[in-house]
Amino acid sequence: MIAHSSHPIIEFRRLHRYFGLTQAVHDVSFTVGRGQVFGYIGPNGAGKTTSMRILATLDLPTWGDAFVDGFSCINDPDRVRRRLGFMPDYFGTYSDVNCYEYLDFFARSYGLVGRERHRALKHTMSFTRLDELAEKPIRGLSKGMKQRLCLGRAMIHDPSVLILDEPANGLDPRARIELREMIRQLAADGKTVLVSSHILTELAEMCDVVGIIERGQLLAVGSVAEIQKQQTPHREVKVRVIGSARSLAEWLGARADVSNVKLEGEFCRFTHEGERESEAALLRELVLANFAISEFGSHSQSLEDVFMAVTRGVVQ
């Protein structure tokens, strides 16, 4: 694994983009370090694609700026493009060419020649597992294979930054898992990845940092655990005891770090302040107090729970 750099590879600095009276992106700022996967989360129309297009030098901000490896997307677009690969949510293909010809066309477009181009093609087709389909016409590819081809197009020139807009859209479960593994491998190789998706469970598994955006405004940014803690500093614990659950409820009710104690048959549910270490200490105290604990588990909010808590479902 490549160590994350303190120098931001992606930076949004007070980014604004207005279309008439619509604030597609409003005062968005965040940074992403080398080798990190940043999950960009938001409902349709939240401003994700607009932000990504600005970073990919396909649009200009109304105000503010975006940077790739220290280069401005406004003032140094050529330097940015050499360091960046963009995989849009929809991309055109050429039905009369095969996979190798398609990637070779883009390798030439990026100025790769001779052995350098052949090495890039060999590596890209091997990484995306398209080498066995090199001669297959694009029109005969499945949705998952077309997504791999588009990823190959984005990475053919060995960029340091990859922007992936809804890469798992429409893929079957196996193709999504394989795509997730490829994204994590790219990060392990030192690539910085900005990815948007509506499949929040997968983002939670693959991303180092996430940002939640709605109506053009960034509502939360940080690791999944950090955002979870910001939203719910307490954890819900559920305990099953052999014997009298009421005695357990009374014992818990006398503690300062426990609240909202509820009895549910043999189970006792309550809210506990603290981290996992303090939960382990609590379980140890319960056993020492001679409670016959048969089950003990805690629940923290998932990324989907956090998303629903942070956003309001308002469109513009």
What is the per-residue pLDDT for 270? Answer: 92
| Residue 215 backbone zone (phi > 0: left; psi -120 to 50: alpha; other: beta) | left
Q: Which is it for the CA torsion 140, 206, 223, 2, positive or negative?
A: negative
- Terminus-to-terminus CA distance in the chain, angstroms? 41
User: Is 233-299 the same fold as 8-223?
Assistant: no
What kind of fold does domain 233-299 have according to CATH? Alpha-Beta Plaits (3.30.70)
* Contact of 74 with 81, CB cutoff 8 Å: no
What is the per-residue pLDDT for 309? Answer: 74
Q: Please tell me the distance from the alpha carbon of residue 299 to that of residue 305, in angstroms, as a whole number.
A: 11
**Residue 182 corresponds to which tokens in the numbers above?**
């490829």
What order of strands is seen across the sheet that includes strand 37-41?
Answer: 84-87, 161-165, 192-196, 37-41, 209-214, 217-222
Give me the tens of pLDDT residue by residue for the chain, a chain 316 residues long. Answer: 444 455 899 999 999 999 999 999 999 999 999 999 999 998 888 999 999 999 999 999 999 999 999 999 999 999 999 999 999 987 777 778 999 999 999 999 999 999 999 999 999 999 999 999 999 999 888 888 999 999 999 999 999 999 999 998 888 888 889 999 999 999 999 999 999 987 787 788 889 999 999 999 999 998 877 877 676 666 789 999 998 899 999 999 999 999 999 998 889 999 888 778 888 999 999 999 999 999 998 876 677 777 877 777 655 5
Please state the domain extents for the chain: 8-223, 233-299
Burial of residue 168, with CB atoms counted within 10 A of its CB: 0-12 exposed, 13-18 middle, 19 or more buried? buried
Neighbours of 114 (CB within 10 A): 7
65, HSE (Cβ side, Cα atoms, 13 Å): 11
What is the enclosing helix (H) or strand (E) of 291? Answer: none
Residue 126 has what DSSP assignment? Answer: H
Architecture of domain 8-223: 3-Layer(aba) Sandwich (3.40)
**Residue 232 corresponds to which tokens in the numbers above?**
């719910």
What is the per-residue pLDDT for 150? Answer: 94
* Contact of 74 with 167, CB cutoff 8 Å: no
**Residue 228 corresponds to which tokens in the numbers above?**
């979870």
